C-alpha cells in the first residue's frame, strides 16, 4: 500500500513537472527577440530577469506572461536594440514604475532597515552577551571581609581533619 502511494506521488509529480516544462517552452515560443550582437542579447536577457513585473507580485518580466510584462519586454528590447546601457534601461523603468520594478532595491531611508537590520540585531546580541559575561565575573570576585574570615576558618578546619 505504502509503495503504491509513493509510486502515484512520483507519477503525479512527473506529470506536474512535464506540464510546467511544456508551458514554459510554449511561453518562450510565443515571441522571439533576436539580436545581431551577442553582447546585446546577453544584456537583454540579464535585464528581463532583473526587472520585475509591476502587475504580478513576484515575477520577473522574463517569467511573466502578463500583458504588461510583454509590453515591458518589448520596450526593453527596443531600448537595447537602440544601444541603451543597462543603467539607462533600469532608470527608464524606475522613473515610470518606481523601485518596485527592479529586483535590486536601492539604499534609501525606507530600505535602510533591510540593509542594516541584520547587523543591528547582531550588535545587540553581542552587547547582551558582553554585559552578561561582565556582570557574572563581578559577582565571582566580590567577597566581604567576613566571608574571607569564614573561608580561612573552614580551610584551617579542613587541614586539621586531614592531619588527624
Cell for 128?
547582551
Tell me the CA distances in angstroms from 34 to 78, 135, 163, one per residue in order. 11, 68, 99
Q: What is the footprint of another protein within residues 128-147 (CB under 8 A)?
A: 128, 131, 135
Q: How far is the CB of 16 from another protein (least distance, A)?
A: 26
Q: Which region, judged by CB under 8 A, interacts with another protein, from 3-11, 18-26, 91-99, 150-158?
A: 91-99
Cell for 95?
522613473
Reference 32, options 23, 21, 41; nearest CA is 41
Does residue number 102 form part of the binding site for another protein (CB under 8 A)?
A: no
Q: Which is nearer to another protein, 87 or 135 (CB)?
A: 135
Does residue number 98 form part of the binding site for another protein (CB under 8 A)?
A: yes
Q: Which is nearer to another protein, 136 or 164 (CB)?
A: 136
Q: How far is the CB of 139 from another protein (least distance, A)?
A: 10
Tell me how many residues contact another protein (CB under 8 A).
18
Q: Which region, judged by CB under 8 A, interacts with another protein, from 26-34, 83-91, 94-102, 145-153?
A: 94-102
Binding pattern for the stretch 29-58 against another protein, x by CB under 8 A and - elsewhere = -------------------------xx-x-
Does residue number 125 form part of the binding site for another protein (CB under 8 A)?
A: no
Amino acid at each position: 500500500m505504502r509503495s503504491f502511494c509513493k509510486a502515484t506521488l512520483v507519477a503525479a509529480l512527473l506529470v506536474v513537472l512535464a506540464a510546467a516544462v511544456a508551458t514554459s517552452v510554449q511561453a518562450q515560443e510565443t515571441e522571439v527577440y533576436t539580436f545581431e550582437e551577442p553582447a546585446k542579447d546577453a544584456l537583454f536577457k540579464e535585464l528581463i530577469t532583473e526587472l520585475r513585473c509591476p502587475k504580478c507580485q513576484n515575477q520577473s518580466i522574463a517569467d511573466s506572461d502578463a500583458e504588461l510584462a510583454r509590453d515591458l519586454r518589448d520596450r526593453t528590447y527596443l531600448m537595447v536594440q537602440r544601444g541603451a546601457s543597462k543603467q539607462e534601461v533600469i532608470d527608464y523603468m524606475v522613473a515610470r514604475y518606481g523601485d518596485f520594478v527592479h529586483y535590486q532595491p536601492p539604499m534609501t531611508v525606507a530600505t535602510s532597515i533591510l540593509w542594516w537590520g541584520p547587523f543591528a540585531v547582531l550588535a545587540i546580541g553581542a552587547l547582551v552577551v558582553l554585559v552578561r559575561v561582565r556582570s557574572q565575573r563581578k559577582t565571582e570576585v566580590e567577597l566581604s571581609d567576613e566571608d574571607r574570615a569564614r573561608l580561612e576558618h573552614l580551610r584551617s578546619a579542613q587541614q586539621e581533619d586531614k592531619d588527624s
